[in-house]
Amino acid sequence: MIFPVGTTAPRQGWAWTTIALIAACSLAFLWQEHLPREQAFRLVAEHALIPRRYADPRWAIIHGLDPRDHLPLLTMAFLHGGWVHLLLNMWTLWLFGRAVEARLGWPRFVLIYILCALLAAWAHMSVYPASLSPVLGASGAIAGILGAHAALFPRSRVVVLILIIVLPLFFRIPAIWYGGLWFALQILQGANSLMQPSLGGGVAWWAHIGGFIAGLTIAHFLAPPQAAAPPPTGPPPAV
């Protein structure tokens, strides 16, 4: 098992936008958990992503879903399927989001988060257009934040925990390597999912892939120019 536990990318102060996103996802999950079973089912049906809702409008209307309502492509990123799902996503957002927020500023950070969430949903729908399985979770958007982190801080180090049986080992690897290894794993898992009979069930690997590519690409366009280092002061060195 390889698990990220730290990063050396620079951060400044409190990452209030990252904290706000974590709070929003956590509160939405707590509300979701305390709903009666029937209401919770309806919440997921209406606000999670069901690809067939948009690929087959007639089917959607028959089942009481509006195919013109595209808000679930975003609201799906604030719902989660369980405590482990929520905690893993929020930890990854906290770990990589703070540096990305510090580099982009909060308006651009919100923009890249939303764009990655939408493009991740689009990627999943493109691969599984007829799927009836509801897709929910922030992992597509957070994959975009991971891609942005790799693009903006390629030389920073990600501290990873590798658990060999019961022996924990810690390593520091370049952020670009970590992002590349993570992305390669998603490709392998995504390709394997295409060979399965189910349509889009289980983990939404292609949403991860789409989100990561989106973040990796968009970050370069959104990042403001870095201030140049101040010129040296004092007398010139003796020769």
SS3 of 66-116: CCCCCCHHHHHHHCCCCHHHHHHHHHHHHHHHHHHHHHHCHHHHHHHHHHH
In a domain, 239, yes or no: no
Query: Count H helices, E strands: the chain?
Result: 10, 3
In a domain, 25, yes or no: yes
- Each residue of 102-149: pLDDT tens digit? 999 999 999 999 999 999 999 999 999 999 999 999 999 999 999 999
Neighbours of 32 (CB within 10 A): 19
Q: Does the pLDDT of residue 239 top 50, yes or no? A: no
For residue 142, which phi and psi values (nearest 5 degrees)?
Answer: -70, -30
Domain containing residue 146: CATH number: 1.20.1540.10
Question: Rounded mean pLDDT of 53-59?
Answer: 96
In a domain, 138, yes or no: yes
pLDDT at 193: 85
In a domain, 33, yes or no: yes
pLDDT at 165: 73
- Each residue of 60-108: pLDDT tens digit? 999 999 999 999 999 999 999 999 999 999 999 999 999 999 999 999 9
How would residue 1 be classed by pLDDT, with cut points 50, 70 and 90? Answer: low
Give me the residue label for tokens 């957002």: 93
Which of 19-33, 72-86, 100-114, 218-232 is the least confident region?
A: 218-232
Domain count, the chain: 1
In a domain, 169, yes or no: yes
Both tokens of 184, joined, read 């390669």
Both tokens of 230, joined, read 């101040």
Containing structural domain, residue 27? 2-7+16-194+203-222
pLDDT at 203: 84
pLDDT at 216: 97
Q: Does the pLDDT of residue 201 top 80, yes or no? A: no
Q: Does the pLDDT of residue 210 top 70, yes or no? A: yes
In a domain, 234, yes or no: no
Cα Rg, the chain, nearest whole Å: 20
In a domain, 52, yes or no: yes
Question: Is the separation of the CB atoms in 112 and 172 below 8 Å?
Answer: no
Q: Does the pLDDT of residue 200 top 70, yes or no? A: no
Please give the C-alpha separations between residue 95 and each of 69, 98, 168, 189, 212, in angstroms, as whole numbers.
33, 7, 19, 23, 16
Please give the C-alpha separations between residue 111 and each of 104, 141, 192, 210, 220, in angstroms, as whole numbers.
10, 11, 32, 16, 13
Question: Rounded mean pLDDT of 179-204?
Answer: 83
Residue 111 exposure: Cα atoms within 13 Å on the Cβ side: 10
Question: Rounded mean pLDDT of 23-47?
Answer: 95
Give me the long-range contacts of 195-199 (CB less than 8 A, separation at least 24): 198/133, 199/128, 199/130, 199/131, 199/132, 199/133
Q: Does the pLDDT of residue 209 top 60, yes or no? A: yes
Q: Does the pLDDT of residue 231 top 70, yes or no? A: no
Both tokens of 95, joined, read 């770990």
Q: For residue 164, what are the β-bridge partners?
A: 167
In a domain, 128, yes or no: yes
Q: How far apart are CA 158 and CA 110, in angstroms?
A: 23
pLDDT at 234: 52
